[in-house]
Amino acid sequence: MTQDVNKDAPQQNHKDGAAAQNGAPSLAHDIEQEEYGAGDPEKKPKKTTSSAQPTPMMAQFLEIKAVNPGCLLFYRMGDFYELFFEDAEIASKALGIALTKRGKHLDEDIPMCGVPVHAAQDYLKRLIGQGYRVAVCEQMEDPAEAKKRGSKSVVKRDVVRLVTPGTITEDDLLPTSSNNYVATLAMLRHGENTFAISYADISTGDMFYAEMEPSAVTDELARIEPRELVLTAATRDALIEAGGLPPSADIQLAEERAELFDSDLAGDRIAKYFAADQLDPSAYSRLVRAAIGALIGYIDETQRGAQVPLRLPRIGGANTMMIDAATRASLELLRTNRGETKGALRHCLDNCVTAGGSRLLSARIAAPLADPASINDRLDMLDDFARDGLLITDLRGRLKAAPDLVRALTRLSLDRGGPRDMAAIGASVIAAGHLLAPLSQIHNPSQGVQKLLGALDAAPQELADHLARALAEELPLLPRDGGFVAKGYSQELDEYRSLATESRQIIAALQAEFAEKTGIKSIKVKHNNVLGYFVEVPAAHGDKMMSAPLNESFIHRQTLANVVRFTTAELSELQGKITRASEAAVAIEQGIFGQLRDEILAQTKPLQDVADALAELDFASAMALLGLERNYVRPKIDQSTAFDIDAGRHPVVEMMLQKEGTTNFVANDCDLSGPEDKGEMGSLWLITGPNMGGKSTYLRQNALIAIMAQMGVYVPARSAHIGVVDRIFSRVGAADDIAHGRSTFMVEMVETAAILNRATARSLVVLDEIGRGTATFDGLSIAWAAVEALHENTKCRALFATHYHELTALSERLDRVSNHTMKVREWEGEVVFLHEVGAGTADRSYGIQVAKLAGLPDHVVTRAQEVLDILEKREAGSMEEGMNQLPLFAARPQPKPEKHKDLLAQKMKSINPDEMTPRQAIELIYELKKLSRNNA
């Protein structure tokens, strides 16, 4: 039996409790109970009265609310978090719960709603998802202590944490397969602004920083995708000038005071947070120091002083491929343009079996490396696993037994963890030990595997053994629920528990004794929170129990409509023993929990290292298995400007086709390597061909292959040789930006300008349909100039897809430009897309054929073909004459109904000759003849 420390509000009955679970407000007399003090439980609380002065409880609420502006205040009252005034109105709409009014403040009703404590996580998740911040206000003392100060004294309360999108730690509120970053952005004005960003995932302890120019801020935010960005109002305005937030990112801004970013105060915060022998704040620039210090200050403020186990800050995005926000959206790296995870590169590659492995995959997709040595180190590790498929299966089976260690560790450090978090840590350490044997079997392991072996071998196995002995098999969520210590771990605890167990037998024996003594077979021994243990008899036997000689043993306590209740000396003594035993058992378990928590936190650094090793091992083994299953290959990575892909495939499209079982993906080559005599220069392919021919897929697949190669994983190709790409740019597809007043063409031009201004000779650029959003000659001119700029100025490797066939003439003037086309075949007036890339140019775009495939009515398609035939007569005179001879659309004869034609086509598609009998075949011939006659 555990004791609830929140007893200043009366208990709900079953009906009220059920309503609360559905979001209904808690009993209004909870407020009155606290305002007037807990009196006789049988008496109804007094009604509140109108007053110009707030009641003591409401005064406390208003005081706490005033020091937590901008947050919805979850005010703890018994088993509920209550919200009042405007907070209640906001929460009732956001959560879909009932809004009530109770009591008066300044002669006006007080709006009120509440959520049950046991279901608060679900409500918090919904509020955070809608962008709200929540201040959680808990009771800081036992209500019994408040009563000692007077009957009208209010229980002490205080905010124990601010729940914001970037500082959550609960598993059911966090994304499993990606980090949840909170970031601070600092700005230094010196002619042109310079920015520094620091970001951390407090659920894992990872912390980073970077310093950058204004043009790179938006791209950096797109890379890390912080859930919350903390900055001053001035920095917010400068950020908008520099490019603003990434369009597709879901980032909540939190404006803070300028003092939080003071570099001198920041240095003190950093020095206080990290040990002097670990970190010297003066090693950072003033700007970086301001960003890191502000981040530490914000985390400390939201966690109300609880120490988050942050790791030493590391440089974020160092030696990585630069990918701007538009390119990330175009290539659909982490999610599609529709905001879905399915269909993105991460979904395609996520074969990991642990949460840490999935988070590491997301981080590496977002930031591919740009250092050949580091990339090849990762590939060497994959080779160790790919040589033995049985080893991969064994490792993955053992990894599945490893829960999310690092997030469990963070919750314990913030005093939000429970017995299950301790069990998760123990299980992860045990799993780490079990991985040593199979890893040790690798012959001549790479440096990466050797590092993994070292980290796993240093796992604190004694801690895991201790946790296994201490924790029971069935564990509660919270330590206050009790019952989590294993039987046999503490002799003292077992003794108190046995007393509680034996009490049931003692009570049963007492009930039998009372029945024999009184001669009342219906006598019962019961218990409730008000009376404790009592004897209950039907009302018909009440007089007998209150008459001699029974009244000497049975003391009357309560008379109700149908029953009469009594107590005895034996019951009172038993009540005391059981209460003392339960309280003692709870106290012992809480003490054991505290000891285990301290023992775990003392091993924070080695436990974090184990978590990192498990994530790395999961990632490497998953990528090796993916390569074996999908026929991926190890790419050759070096410092050259080579880009030679043999039989490359789009990883996502290929996976989708395989799942649907429709057809095999058509592989294509791509060689953008520059001529050897040109040195640091790449080739530029002009790609023409029909709509629906596969140009966009081809462009994206080569960009994705480059990203996967520099992540350090195998790629979908027969072979691949890639000289490290420093920056990748993709401008594929059309979209507008109405919110910022940009048309589709303006967005196209802004993104093209960014590419031409920022690409280098070592970059990879893929462009699709530049200039198609405006008039023909304007667009052609822009596309022509863009190709020349990429060739003459940037000199990078590039794929340029276009419908402007006039551009193919550039291959004769520019020596590193070559023409390629998507192949098609025409058969009986129909176009067949082969999805193959070959040398040469396309003479047609086949737009009308694609329109026909899309379902345009035949009369519209026929009319379009007639107009096209005239327009293709280049001479102006003949064109005008031809247009004049062409009858108006309205004058054309109406097309025949296509009902029979559709029926004939449907019938032909439904035929399976291999499954037909001779008789069925003959009947079919007659049926087809009939349909054909009707169609004629």
Phi, psi (deg, nearest 5) at residue 688: -115, 170
3-state class (DSSP) for residue 16: helix
d(CA 513, CA 641): 95
- Residue 50 CA to residue 106 CA, distance in Å, equals 7
Q: How many CB atoms lie within 10 A of CB 599?
A: 16
| The two structure tokens encoding residue 782 | 């822009």
**Contact present, 385 and 450 (Cβ < 8 Å):** no
Residue 689 counted as an annotated binding residue: yes
**Taking a C-beta distance cutoff of 8 angstroms, is the pair 633, 627 a contact?**
yes
Q: Are 182 and 295 in contact (CB under 8 A)?
A: yes
Q: Which two tokens stand for residue 930?
A: 């009939």
Please state, in angstroms and rounded to a whole number, the distance separating the CA atoms of residues 710 and 371.
Answer: 8
CA angle 158, 161, 166 (to 5 degrees): 160
Q: For residue 645, give both structure tokens.
A: 């892909």
Both tokens of 398, joined, read 């053992």
* Other residues' Cβ atoms within 10 Å of the Cβ of residue 639: 11
Give CA–CA dist 245/601, Å, rounded: 38
The answer to whether the CB of 616 falls within 8 A of the CB of 713 is no
Give the Å distances, CA to CA, from 672 to 61, 511, 698, 837: 67, 91, 13, 14
- Evaluate whether 534 touches 567 at the Cβ level (below 8 Å): yes
Question: Contact at 8 Å (CB) between 99 and 144?
Answer: no
Spatial separation of the C-alpha atoms in residues 339 and 545, rounded to whole Å: 73
Helices (H), 714-857: 744-758, 776-789, 847-854
Q: What is the DSSP string of 520-574?
A: -TT-EEEEETTTEEEEEEEGGGHHHHTSTTGGGT-EEEEE-SSEEEEE-HHHHHH
Show Cβ contacts of residue 885 under 8 Å, excluding neighbours closer than 6 positions: none
Nearest to 643 by CA among 769, 792, 761, 732: 761
Q: In whole angstroms, give the CA distance from residue 46 to residue 33.
A: 8
CA distances 810 to 453, 786, 788, 817, Å, are 56, 12, 8, 7
Both tokens of 548, joined, read 């001699």
Query: CA–CA separation, 486 vs 497, rounded Å?
Result: 11
**733, 770, 778: which is closest to 753 by C-alpha?**
770
Query: Is 695 part of any known ligand binding site?
Result: yes
- Burial class for 151, CB neighbours closer than 10 Å (0-12, 13-18, 19+): exposed
Sheet strand arrangement including 643-648: 636-638, 719-723, 643-648, 668-671
Residue 556 bridge partners (DSSP): 566
Binding residues, by number, are 689-696
Binding residues for ATP, by number, are 689-696
